[in-house]
């Protein structure tokens, strides 16, 4: 149609040229990216999937904040690599009074806050009492202490108030008296929430303390650009000696794909493995960098033992045999290897691997013949006369696939189950009410103590929403758990809890399934990074000893 | 002209009032109790109620709204951080001591309040001291985050707004260069392979999810060019450009598609008019005819769509921000919605509405620059 002006031909390309010039500085500056290029100054670079909401110890209630907080703060007690309680800011494990109610802690001398002041017993009293204030998210940590209820009541309207049971006996001596003997209290004291912080820093910053926290920990928070990045610098005055690495930088990268790309490019040193991508990582150049470690959690399908009309309910021999038959019929290996890519392993009891109390008995395995025999013994040969049962589960992740695999295994011995998938909120409401006869659930340890599993999941005092949604009630088990609270000898205590576990296993109240593993990729030049079963994959875990973590470039290690 | 601008600026006030009122109404009615959100799912109900009381969430809706705007004083309680600031440090310490004492009576508190110019109220049978001050939108304060303890809303949104502005400016620049360029070329060479291929590209651009384009760029464009894949380092201009190059290009490419299609049709319209033929007949060079005569006359719809795109880029780049790990305004607001951080939601939407109103105003004013026939302020 119209003649094409020649001069326009090239001028029209100008915008493209403009684009190229925008990109050009990158070409000249970027240089080669290699997958293994540690930070030149030896810092460790992490990515966070979320911005930590709060770093004030009394507000920490999520894994990211607790991961960051653990590097900034210290508590009276901590854990060793086997998750045994060990002294942290205390010089030794506390003296316990004969009635088991009073603990006396001697504190380390010369521990300095990031602001340079030395820590004293008064600081601990102040920090623990803050947990009772109206602003605290974690009043439960101090609740077992004598007089805490009253302080919490007062704390709703006034600021933090004194707790009767916390007493300063000397500059470095702290006494805590409990309402009644409660050994797990020592675990509560080792949570980041119970960290020591300096009063003057809180009073100067007010609510802003959560954005500029001051502790005694191995790292100091030196920069926090909300939703962008945090920089933790090594604390040269740390009481156990300064960390080896100069710095930990944490970039907030919400998108998993972007985190993975940054990891491949060598811009971050660790990355979490999100659901479903493990096979891709295995097939990639990074397969040697995959780290799977046990997580203190269990997955089970519970039977509601008080459900009326359910053949699986109650403690009669027939019901027990039926429940055992189901346990024998299921192929846990298949679930672990084929459905979740090896991110689960079959369990052998209630306490998951890596937890104190975990037994060395063999894991539950499939035995179809035995299952059929049990079914026949229970009066339902080949499943004849056994009504189909609904299996309730929340439809997240691989739950549906696992349920289908189990449905298949049970069908093979003649038991019909009907899958009933719900969203989490609706599901948990129904299980709390005790509506389903058969349901999927899991439990992640709050603290590494078998009591945390037994008390909440099996003590008859916790039937319903508190955790015992199988409505399991066994006076013998209750008695053993109750007795464990009074026992101060760690070995004897563990013995009691193991006995309780044996008794529960004999009743087959659950279909015992698997325990999960956390997955991360860690660059080979990061050394001494050893997550424990209670470490989350975010913010470099909360129990890892970051003072020991080192960055050793490949060439230097040879 | 000046009266026109003033009139338009006055018009902003009812818009902003209406927007905040709507958001406030919505916030008041969506599920999610601020106290429970702040203190956690298993929080003690009495503690939650106390939190809500102190933050004023138990007051009638209109009271909260008026207070938010800054027409009524807000109350700050003795255990609250900013109490010191308002009441003075010493008074704050005395107030705290008095409240922590066992069995303090309401009349005692009243006496103390009167002596120190404080207010006193009762909650669950206990006296509470408060200081008060005016601080709301009118005083330039958007309040405090419900979720992030001790974080001012203005500060949160301000930081992310700066990120977004840079992202949007870069993107609109790329979108304009590419879009207008491709549009002109297509119009001038309409119904040739250039036209068809650039319009096919434009259709792909319009339909390509920016999220996906961003991922592709991170995977395949960043490595060969040595560009950073995500995040923002604004230590220098060069670093800022390097970090924003990919997200700006991704966003810009998408918006350029719309601009190209519109430029093409506007140009085709103008090119077929008589004055273009006259200009050509006068023997003007084709470049002058196209850029000076035709483009200028086609500019009004182009400026409008560029202005609109810019407005959307400022508020709607959530997905791009998320892929490239940028802390922009969009993702900040989405996060606050997910977390039910009501003060940030309200403040964020207030800022968004201001952005839209101002971009619209600027676009309207710029018409006069491009087309002298447009005059403001008459009639």
Q: Distance between CA atoms of A347 and A335, rounded to whole angstroms? A: 12
Tokens in use for A459? 């003590």
> What is the rounded average pLDDT of the residues A388-394?
95
pLDDT band at residue A160, thresholds of 50, 70 and 90? low
pLDDT score of A316 more than 70: yes
User: pLDDT of B218-238, one tens digit each?
Assistant: 999 999 999 999 999 888 999
- Residue A27 contacts B, CB cutoff 8 Å: yes
Residue B102: DSSP 8-state = T
Residue A18 near chain B (CB below 8 Å): yes
Q: Note whether A408 contacts B: Cβ–Cβ < 8 A.
A: no
* Residues 103-162 of chain A whose Cβ lies under 8 A from any Cβ of chain B: 133-137, 139-140, 152-162
Residues 414-473 in A contacting B (C-alpha not used; CB under 8 Å): none
Mean pLDDT, rounded, for A95-104: 92
Q: Is residue A405 very low, low, confident or very high in pLDDT (cuts 50, 70, 90)?
A: very high
Q: What pLDDT is recorded for position A28?
A: 35
pLDDT reported for residue A27: 38
Looking at CA atoms only, how far is residue B290 from chain A in angstroms? 9
- A208 vs B128: CB contact, 8 Å cut-off? no
pLDDT at B340 over 50: yes
Helices (H) and strands (E) in chain A, counts: 18, 20
Q: Are strands A526-527 and B119-123 parallel, antiparallel or unpaired?
A: unpaired
The pLDDT, as a whole number, for residue A9 is 45
On chain A, the residues whose CB falls within 8 A of the CB of B148 are 53-54, 210-211, 226
**Residue A358 pLDDT more than 90?**
yes
Average pLDDT over residues A124-153: 91
Query: Is a pLDDT exceeding 90 seen at residue B241?
Result: yes
Sequence-distant (6+) residues with CB within 8 A of B336 are B145, B147, B344, B345, B348
What pLDDT is attached to residue A397? 83
Residue keyed to tokens 């340079």: A116
Is residue A1 scored above 90 in pLDDT? no
Question: Whole-prediction pTM value?
Answer: 0.85
- C-beta neighbour count of B108 within 10 angstroms: 14
Q: Please give the share of chain A, as a percent, with pLDDT higher than 70.
A: 92
What pLDDT does residue A26 have?
39
Residue entry with tokens 């870069």: B170
pLDDT tens column, B303-337: 999 998 898 888 778 889 999 999 999 889 988 88
Beta bridge partners of A221: A232
Query: What is residue A557's predicted lDDT score, i.e. its pLDDT?
Result: 42
| Spatial distance between the Cα atoms of B178 and B184, rounded to a whole number of angstroms | 10
Most confident of the ranges A63-67, A504-508, A518-522, B272-276: A504-508
- Cross-chain Cβ contact B331/A228 below 8 Å: no
pLDDT digits (tens, 9 = 90+) for B23-71: 888 888 877 788 888 887 667 788 888 889 988 899 998 999 999 999 9
Question: Quick one: pLDDT at residue A375?
Answer: 96
CA B217 to chain centre: 26
Please state the separation of Cα A221 from the chain's center in Å.
Answer: 23
How many degrees, rounded to 5, is the angle at CA A278 between CA A273 and CA A283?
A: 130
Task: Report pLDDT for B128.
Answer: 87
Kindly indicate the confidence band of residue A35, based on its pLDDT and cuts at 50, 70 and 90. low
The answer to whether residue B375 scores a pLDDT higher than 80 is no
Q: In the prediction, which pLDDT does A216 show?
A: 97
DSSP state of B152: B
Q: Where is mean pLDDT largest: A22-26, A101-105, A130-134? A: A101-105
A8 pLDDT more than 50: no
What is the band of B297 on the pLDDT scale with cuts at 50, 70, 90? confident
**3-state helix/strand/coil string of A332-394:** HHHHHHHHCCCCEEECCCCCCCCCCCCCCCCCCCCCHHHHHHHHHHCCCHHHCCCCCEEEEEE
For residue A450, give Cα distances in angstroms to A298, A350, A486, A505: 12, 8, 15, 14
**pLDDT tens, position by position, A421-478:** 988 878 888 888 899 999 999 998 889 999 999 999 999 998 987 789 999 999 999 9
DSSP state, A3? P
Higher pLDDT residue, A438 or B82?
A: A438
- Residue holding tokens 């009349």? B107
Q: Give the model's pLDDT for residue B328.
A: 92
Q: Distance (Å, rounded) from C-alpha A306 to C-alpha A314?
A: 6
Predicted pLDDT at B126: 80
Predicted local distance difference test score (pLDDT) of residue A246 = 97
| A500 has pLDDT over 50 | yes
Tell me whether B31 touches chain A (CB under 8 Å): no
Q: How far apart are CA B81 and CA A528, in angstroms?
A: 41
- In this complex, the residue of A23, A137, A158 whose CB is nearest that of residue B39 is A137
Closest CA relative to residue B18, chosen from B255, B357, B257: B357
> Residue A499: pLDDT above 90?
yes
Assign residue A382 a region: left if phi > 0, alpha if psi is -120 to 50, beta otherwise? left
Residue A106 and residue A74: Cα distance in Å, rounded?
15
Q: Are B56 and B119 in contact (CB under 8 A)?
A: no
Which chain A residue is nearest to residue B102, measuring alpha carbons?
A: A154
Task: Quick: pLDDT tens for B122-175.
Answer: 888 788 889 988 889 889 899 989 888 888 999 999 999 999 999 999 999 999
Q: What is the DSSP letter of A244?
A: S
Q: Which residues pair with A86 in a beta bridge?
A: A78
Between A64 and A7, the higher pLDDT residue: A64
- Of all residues in chain A, the one with the smallest CA distance to B99 is A158
Please list every residue in chain B whose beta carbon sits closer than 8 Å to the beta carbon of residue A258. 215, 218, 229-230, 323-325
Of B80, B226, B285, the CB nearest to A33: B226
Q: Which of A158, A211, A227 sits opposite B100 (nearest CB)?
A: A158
pLDDT given for residue A7 in this prediction: 43
Instruction: Answer with the residue of higher pLDDT: A500 or B61.
Output: A500
d(CA A227, CA A248): 16
Q: Do B223 and A18 touch (CB under 8 A)?
A: no
Asked if A228's CB is within 8 angstroms of B81's CB, the reply is: no
Are the C-beta atoms of A265 and A33 separated by less than 8 Å?
yes
Using CA atoms, how far apart are residues A61 and A65, in angstroms rounded to an integer?
A: 7
CA separation for the pair B212, B301 (Å, rounded): 29
Check if the beta carbon of residue B152 is closer than 8 Å to that of residue A211: no
Query: 3-state DSSP call for residue B374?
Result: coil
Place of tokens 């991360």: A520
What was the pLDDT predicted at A403? 96
Mean confidence (pLDDT) of chain A: 89
């Amino acid at each position: 149609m119209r003649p094409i002006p020649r001069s326009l031909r090239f001028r029209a390309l100008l915008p493209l040229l403009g684009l190229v010039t925008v990109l050009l500085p990158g070409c000249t500056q970027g240089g080669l990216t290699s997958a293994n290029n540690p930070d030149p100054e030896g810092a460790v670079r992490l990515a966070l999937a979320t911005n930590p909401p709060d770093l004030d110890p009394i507000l920490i209630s999520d894994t990211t904040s607790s991961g960051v907080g653990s590097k900034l703060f210290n508590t009276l007690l901590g854990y060793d690599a086997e998750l045994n309680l060990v002294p942290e800011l205390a010089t030794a494990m506390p003296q316990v009074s004969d009635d088991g109610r009073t603990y006396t802690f001697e504190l380390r001398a010369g521990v300095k806050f990031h602001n340079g002041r030395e820590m004293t017993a008064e600081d601990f009293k102040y920090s623990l009492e803050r947990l009772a204030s109206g602003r605290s998210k974690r009043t439960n940590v101090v609740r077992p202490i004598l007089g805490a209820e009253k302080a919490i009541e007062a704390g709703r309207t006034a600021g933090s108030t004194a707790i009767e049971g916390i007493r300063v006996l000397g500059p470095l001596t702290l006494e805590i008296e409990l309402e009644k003997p409660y050994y797990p209290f020592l675990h509560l004291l080792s949570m980041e929430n119970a960290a020591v912080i300096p009063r003057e820093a809180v009073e100067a910053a007010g609510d802003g303390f959560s954005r500029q926290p001051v502790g005694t920990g191995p790292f100091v928070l030196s920069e926090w650009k909300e939703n962008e990045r945090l920089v933790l610098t090594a604390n040269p005055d740390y009481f156990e000696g300064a960390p080896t690495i100069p710095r930990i930088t944490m970039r907030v990268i919400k998108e998993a794909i972007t985190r993975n790309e940054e990891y491949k490019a060598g811009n971050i040193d660790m990355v979490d493995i999100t659901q479903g991508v493990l096979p891709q990582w295995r097939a990639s150049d990074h397969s040697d960098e995959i780290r799977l470690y046990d997580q203190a959690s269990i997955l089970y399908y519970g039977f509601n033992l008080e459900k009326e009309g359910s053949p699986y309910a109650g403690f009669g021999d027939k019901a027990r045999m039926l429940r055992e038959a189901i346990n024998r019929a299921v192929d846990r290996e298949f679930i672990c290897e084929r459905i979740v890519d090896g991110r689960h392993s079959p369990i052998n009891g209630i306490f998951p691997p890596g937890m104190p109390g975990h037994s060395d008995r063999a894991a539950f395995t499939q035995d179809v013949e035995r299952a059929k025999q049990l079914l026949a013994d229970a009066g339902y040969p080949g499943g004849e006369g056994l009504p189909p049962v609904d299996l309730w589960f929340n439809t997240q992740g691989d739950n549906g696939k696992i349920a289908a695999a189990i449905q298949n295994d049970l069908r093979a011995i003649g038991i019909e189950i009907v899958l009933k998938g719900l969203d989490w909120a609706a599901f948990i409401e129904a299980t709390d009410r005790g509506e389903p006869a058969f349901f999927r659930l899991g439990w992640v340890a709050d603290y590494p103590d078998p009591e945390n599993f037994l008390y909440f999941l099996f003590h008859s005092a916790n039937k319903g929403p508190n955790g015992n949604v199988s409505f399991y009630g066994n006076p013998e088990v209750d008695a053993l758990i109750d007795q464990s609270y009074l026992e101060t000898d760690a070995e004897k205590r563990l013995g009691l809890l193991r006995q309780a576990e044996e008794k529960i296993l004999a009743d087959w109240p659950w279909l015992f399934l698997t325990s999960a593993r956390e997955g991360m990729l860690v660059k080979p030049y990061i050394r001494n990074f050893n997550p424990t079963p209670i470490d989350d994959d975010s913010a470099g875990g909360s129990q890892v000893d970051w003072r020991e973590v080192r960055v050793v470039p490949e060439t230097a290690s040879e | 002209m000046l009266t026109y601008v003033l009139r338009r600026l006055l018009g902003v006030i009812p818009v902003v009032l209406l927007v905040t009122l709507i958001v406030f109404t919505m916030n008041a009615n969506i599920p999610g109790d601020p106290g429970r959100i702040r203190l956690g799912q298993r929080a003690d109900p009495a503690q939650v109620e106390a939190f809500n009381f102190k933050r004023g969430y138990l007051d009638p809706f209109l009271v909260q709204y008026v207070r938010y705007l800054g027409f009524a004083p807000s109350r700050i309680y003795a255990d609250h951080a900013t109490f010191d600031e308002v009441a003075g440090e010493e008074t704050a310490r005395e107030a705290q001591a008095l409240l922590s004492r066992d069995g303090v009576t309401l009349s005692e508190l009243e006496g103390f309040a009167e002596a120190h110019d404080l207010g006193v109220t009762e909650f669950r049978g206990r006296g509470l001291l408060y200081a008060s001050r005016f601080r709301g939108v009118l005083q330039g304060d958007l309040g405090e985050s419900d979720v992030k303890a001790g974080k001012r809303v203005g500060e949160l949104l301000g930081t992310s707004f700066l990120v977004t502005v840079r992202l949007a400016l870069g993107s609109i620049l790329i979108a304009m260069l590419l879009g207008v360029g491709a549009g002109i070329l297509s119009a001038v060479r309409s119904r040739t392979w250039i036209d068809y291929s650039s319009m096919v590209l434009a259709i792909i651009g319009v339909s390509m999810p920016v999220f996906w384009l961003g991922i592709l760029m991170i995977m395949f464009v960043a490595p060969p060019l040595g560009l950073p894949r995500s995040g923002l380092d604004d230590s220098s201009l060069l670093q800022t450009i390097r970090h924003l190059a990919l997200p700006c290009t991704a966003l810009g490419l998408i918006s350029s598609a719309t601009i190209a299609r519109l430029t093409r049709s506007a140009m085709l319209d103008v090119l077929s008019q008589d004055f273009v033929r006259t200009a050509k007949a006068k023997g003007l060079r084709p470049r002058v005819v196209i850029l000076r005569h035709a483009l200028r006359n086609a500019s009004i719809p182009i400026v409008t769509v560029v202005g609109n795109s810019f407005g959307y880029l400022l508020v709607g780049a959530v997905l791009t921000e998320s892929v490239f790990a940028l802390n922009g305004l969009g993702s900040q607001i989405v996060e606050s919605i997910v977390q039910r951080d009501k003060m940030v939601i309200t403040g964020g939407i207030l800022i968004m509405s201001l952005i839209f109103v101002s971009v619209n105003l600027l676009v309207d004013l710029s018409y006069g620059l491009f087309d002298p026939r447009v005059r403001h302020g008459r009639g």
